[in-house]
Structure 1
Amino acid sequence: MQPEVIRSLVPARMDRLPWTKFHWLIVVGLGVSWILDGIEIQIVSSMGGALQSIDSLHLTSGQVGATASWYLAGQVVGALVFGRLTDKLGRKKLFILTLAIYLIGSGLAGFAWNSWSLYLFRFIAGTGIGGEYAAINSAIDEIMPSKYRGRVDIAINGTYWGGAALGAVASLFLFNEDLIPAHWGWRLGFFIGPVLGLIIIFLRRHIPESPRWLLTHGRAAEAERTVDEIEAQVRSQGVELPPVDEGKALDIVEEVRLSYRQMARVFFGQYPSRSFLGFTMMATQAFLYNAIFFTVGLVLINFYDVPSDHTGYYFFPFALGNLIGPLVLGPLFDTIGRRKMICATYVGSGVLLFISAWMFSAGMLNATTQTAVWCAIFFFASAGASSAYLTVSEIFPLELRGQAISFFFAISQGTGGVIAPFLFGHLVGGADNPNPDRFPLTVGYIIGAVAMVFGGLVAWFFGVNAEGRALEDIADPLSKAAPPEKAPDVAVND
């Protein structure tokens, strides 16, 4: 019996939409989560001095770095578990679940009594945010019109740094012992996320399920109704929508269920070069970011004698550089193109990091100039890192989009991400050393620079020109119906 074939214009209708209030709802509802994440992570990264204080948990530099590694390890587990669930159950259902887990874990961390309890609670928080990466990036790419997809995805991922800037300001108060005792400041920092997160949960209730996901999961009628409602909102704003070309219709058969073995065949059998591209981009940016971001405070304190409660002054401009990069460069990923911009941002940040490593080793930098150099590096690296999530989301079939993000995210974090904070925490050395050796950290910076240049070259040679193209044109859905077989020509004898 032949499977039923459903012909639908849902993807084409979504891509022909102009920018409207509906799309702002998506940006705010999903992007706010990254702002919240940035606030909390920045506060946590600024806790290095407070956590090492004898009045708090009295951790070593290595243990502070290990706290970040446990958080990232939780992201790996959460990405793998919830990435598969978002492909199976839908994008919207996972929004609430993953955010709730993240907020609960963050709140519990405020009650930590020793290093291992802190590791556990940070691990729980990490599982929630790991699931967020898969669900949110999948929804963004599937809902946004193709001509805006690149800049929106990159900008939303970049809003993390807006939260980090706010977190830097908050850290100036939380870790100022003249205002808040040392044993309370770091605990209050963990409670900010859960309080603000309650607002986000209610906001996300108004975001619809991805019509593309509904279409490929046996719910075509619901997908049509969802798009009808979106178009009705657009027309109510006085916008005229042009007719959709029937030639862009997509033929879909029944829902496809994938085993892990079948997924492996898709990744490494059908799309081996794209898999290599996705892993390389994710791993290299994860190593660079986690190595430097989680040790910024330690470097300022140990090498430049910045008081622990003053690191926020330096991190604020650093975060702004990371925020401005995606906002300024994001549109170029839709105009100049993916491959060119990914290569430029990765290689550019790698070259700048190599130069800064030489300057750091030579003692040419102080706290202010070191921060300025970081701002320049991450102006490019931030846009590049965001494009890594965009890339792995749009170059694989829709039915495993969430799992593609989670799979490559998990591998990259499990290699470069988890190792980097722990490694660089030890390269920084102890806080009790009045003359710390710069050579080990210089080598670490050089390794990060080489990694980013390599990632940029891989993107140049293996990248996909996905700008302005429908997701279904970049990678056929696995549930796409096969074209009817052409009848063979029949020879006619005179």
Structure 2
Amino acid sequence: MDANARPPSVRRGSGLPVVAICFATIVFDGYDLIVYGSVVPSLLADRSWHLTAAQVGAIGSYALIGMLIGALVTGAVTDAIGRRKIIIVSVAWFSAAMILCALAPSPELLGLFRFVAGIGLGGVVPTAIALTVEYAPRDRRNLYNALMYSGYSVGGILAAILALALIADHGWRLMFWIGAAPLVLILPLAIRYLPESAAFLLAHGHRAEAEALAVRYGLDLDAVAGDTGRAGEPASDGAHTRTRTGAIALLFRRGNLAATLLFGAASFCGLLLVYGLNTWLPQIMRTAGYPLGSSLQFLLVLNIGAIAGTIAVSFLADRFGPKIVTAGAFLAATLCLYVMSLRLDTAVLMVCVAVAGLGSVGTQILVNGFVATHYPSASRATALGWSLGVGRLGAVLGPLLGGWLLGSGLGFQWNFYGFVLPALLGTVFIAAVPRLRAVAAHRRGISVPTRDSASARP
């Protein structure tokens, strides 16, 4: 029987089930992170713990330190042990840790349990992005990635809505109990339905299994296999990335070094904005005179803006390339964060917060998609792990920076000025990323002036 023949009982499908499971996972990834920002005002008001803004900011950063470790470890091992296993273990890990957070008897243990949860959360994002990009249609990878990763902001919306409905009557601990829901909602689905990466199977010699996945999910195995190389490169480069060492080495060789460093720096800025604003925006608004309910509404609008804006601009990223669109989103964040410091009318301020959601959460989604489409599939998860791992340093700094600004007494405006600079730097870093085809041409020793393209292929 022809090895490439399609079994008559199986019809060619699509990768949407894979994207759906990744989306659901990211919803709770986002919830478990953003929920902390929704309980910050309650923690500061808890008279039994007597926390200061700096202490609350430090606790907020502990989960992100854990994510730094989780992202770096995941990036190093995913291409060696498989992406499906990483997703399953990560979901079980962070869900169990959220139960511990709900039971924490002291601030110190809450910080420890948030750190433990962060390790599991750090493994989710790069793996989910890598699977989504692989199973998405090749000319819609930015869009599918944006749709999938919009789950992060859906989780933020869920955290804000539940906080509005529950905290006043039931306290902040219930919010962490809800974060354990993936143990019964997501984990069984992932175990039953989530496939392994076809690129991973091909790289490890399991072609028959990869062919079965190609039939089931509508993959083009030739494209998956070809994606292990870059435009104009010999196919042997794909074989080089089949080991963990080769995948890491590819990121730092001459043709990729500049992009690798710039992506890390851009992720640093993007994640500083994401976690700084999601942790402190409700409390910043409370210091400006808004009641708790209204302050949480700003968190809701921030994440609604991230979803709507990111899906809209993802179409532009697929059409014009992720570079110019991502840089533009960073620039929009820069302008809106400055405008938010001017104490505008509430309606105008809400619009600015929504655009800031695109420029923070949405921008990081675009950065992740840019990274995922810039590197070959065999090293894609490693590249994402590196970028997000370095970015976690910014994520750690974001809550600390917000706590310092609030405790400094500098005034309402400085709560936003502190986030304007990283947004501006992110614009510069993305603008400096080498054009994809120009990099490939550089490796061949020729010059080909062309714009960056999200769908550039060999």
The TM tier, using the shorter chain, reads 0.7 to 0.9
Mark the CA change 1:372 to 1:429 in structure 2 (over 3 Å): closer, same or farther. farther
Whether the 8 Å contact between 1:351 and 1:453 is mirrored in structure 2 is no
Which 10-residue stretch deviates more, 372-381 or 318-327? Answer: 372-381
In structure 2, the residue corresponding to 1:110 is in which secondary structure?
helix
Q: Alpha-carbon deviation of 1:299?
A: 0.1
Q: Alpha-carbon deviation of 1:261?
A: 8.6
Residue 158 of structure 1 is matched in structure 2 by 150
CA deviations on 1:89-128 (whole Å, 9 max, x unpaired) are: 1111111101111111111111112221111100111111
Determine whether 1:454 maps to 2:446. no
Determine whether 1:202 maps to 2:176. no
- Give distance in 2, aligned partners of 1:56 and 1:354: 36
Whether the 8 Å contact between 2:373 and 2:454 is mirrored in structure 1 is no
Determine whether 1:389 maps to 2:368. yes
Overall identity of the aligned pairs, in %: 23
Aligned counterpart for 2:331 among listed residues 347, 369, 386: 347
Residue 124 of structure 2 is matched in structure 1 by 132
Residue 301 of structure 1 is matched in structure 2 by 286
Residue 95 of structure 2 is matched in structure 1 by 103
Mark the CA change 1:382 to 1:158 in structure 2 (over 3 Å): closer, same or farther. same
Mark the CA change 1:372 to 1:249 in structure 2 (over 3 Å): closer, same or farther. closer
- Give distance in 1, aligned partners of 2:246 and 2:19: 35
- Give distance in 2, aligned partners of 1:336 and 1:257: 31
Determine whether 1:421 maps to 2:407. no
Aligned counterpart for 1:287 among listed residues 264, 272, 276: 272
- Give distance in 1, aligned partners of 2:222 and 2:203: 20
Aligned counterpart for 1:226 among listed residues 191, 213, 221: 213
Q: How does 1:398-437 map to 2 (within 5 A)?
A: 398-414=377-393, 416-429=394-407, 437=411
Whether the 8 Å contact between 2:340 and 2:416 is mirrored in structure 1 is no
Determine whether 1:188 maps to 2:167. no
Q: Alpha-carbon deviation of 1:394?
A: 2.7
Determine whether 1:70 maps to 2:62. yes
Whether the 8 Å contact between 1:217 and 1:255 is mirrored in structure 2 is no
CA deviations on 1:112-147 (whole Å, 9 max, x unpaired) are: 122211111001111111100121111111221211
Query: In the alignment, residue 315 of structure 1 is paired with which amino acid?
Result: L
Residue 237 of structure 1 is matched in structure 2 by none
Q: Alpha-carbon deviation of 1:354?
A: 3.0
Q: Alpha-carbon deviation of 1:275?
A: 1.0
- Give distance in 2, aligned partners of 1:423 and 1:9: 56
Mark the CA change 1:310 to 1:338 in structure 2 (over 3 Å): closer, same or farther. closer
- Give distance in 1, aligned partners of 2:417 and 2:316: 33
Whether the 8 Å contact between 1:212 and 1:223 is mirrored in structure 2 is yes
Q: Alpha-carbon deviation of 1:274?
A: 1.8
Query: In the alignment, residue 444 of structure 1 is paired with which amino acid?
Result: G
Residue 444 of structure 1 is matched in structure 2 by 418
Q: Alpha-carbon deviation of 1:79?
A: 0.9
CA deviations on 1:61-100 (whole Å, 9 max, x unpaired) are: 1111112211110001111122222111111111110111
Query: In the alignment, residue 280 of structure 1 is paired with which amino acid?
Result: A
- Give distance in 2, aligned partners of 1:207 and 1:442: 41
Mark the CA change 1:337 to 1:287 in structure 2 (over 3 Å): closer, same or farther. same
Mark the CA change 1:294 to 1:268 in structure 2 (over 3 Å): closer, same or farther. farther
Aligned counterpart for 2:38 among listed residues 46, 58, 82: 46
- Give distance in 2, aligned partners of 1:166 and 1:262: 37
Mark the CA change 1:94 to 1:462 in structure 2 (over 3 Å): closer, same or farther. same
RMSD of aligned residue pairs (Cα, Å): 3.1
Mark the CA change 1:254 to 1:401 in structure 2 (over 3 Å): closer, same or farther. closer
Determine whether 1:312 maps to 2:296. yes
What TM-score results when the alignment is normalised by the length of structure 1? 0.79
Residue 467 of structure 1 is matched in structure 2 by 454
CA deviations on 1:440-474 (whole Å, 9 max, x unpaired) are: 43541332342233234324x5566342334xx3x
Residue 444 of structure 2 is matched in structure 1 by none
- Give distance in 2, aligned partners of 1:273 and 1:417: 22
- Give distance in 1, aligned partners of 2:374 and 2:411: 44
What TM-score results when the alignment is normalised by the length of structure 2? 0.84
In structure 1, the residue corresponding to 2:344 is in which secondary structure?
coil
Unaligned runs of 5+ in 2: 7-11, 229-234, 438-451
- Give distance in 2, aligned partners of 1:148 and 1:340: 17
Query: In the alignment, residue 417 of structure 1 is paired with which amino acid?
Result: A
Mark the CA change 1:323 to 1:262 in structure 2 (over 3 Å): closer, same or farther. closer
Unaligned runs of 5+ in 1: 1-7, 14-19, 235-240, 474-494
Query: In the alignment, residue 286 of structure 1 is paired with which amino acid?
Result: L
- Give distance in 2, aligned partners of 1:249 and 1:284: 29
- Give distance in 1, aligned partners of 2:136 and 2:48: 46
Aligned counterpart for 1:215 among listed residues 202, 206, 209: 202
Query: In the alignment, residue 418 of structure 1 is paired with which amino acid?
Result: V
Q: Alpha-carbon deviation of 1:153?
A: 0.6
- Give distance in 1, aligned partners of 2:124 and 2:227: 31
Paired residue total: 428
Residue 313 of structure 2 is matched in structure 1 by 329
Query: In the alignment, residue 178 of structure 2 is paired with which amino acid?
Result: I
Determine whether 1:118 maps to 2:92. no
- Give distance in 2, aligned partners of 1:325 and 1:315: 15
Query: In the alignment, residue 248 of structure 2 is paired with which amino acid?
Result: M
Aligned counterpart for 1:147 among listed residues 139, 152, 157: 139
Query: In the alignment, residue 318 of structure 1 is paired with which amino acid?
Result: L
Q: Alpha-carbon deviation of 1:366?
A: 5.9
Q: Alpha-carbon deviation of 1:339?
A: 2.1
Bigger helix fraction: 2
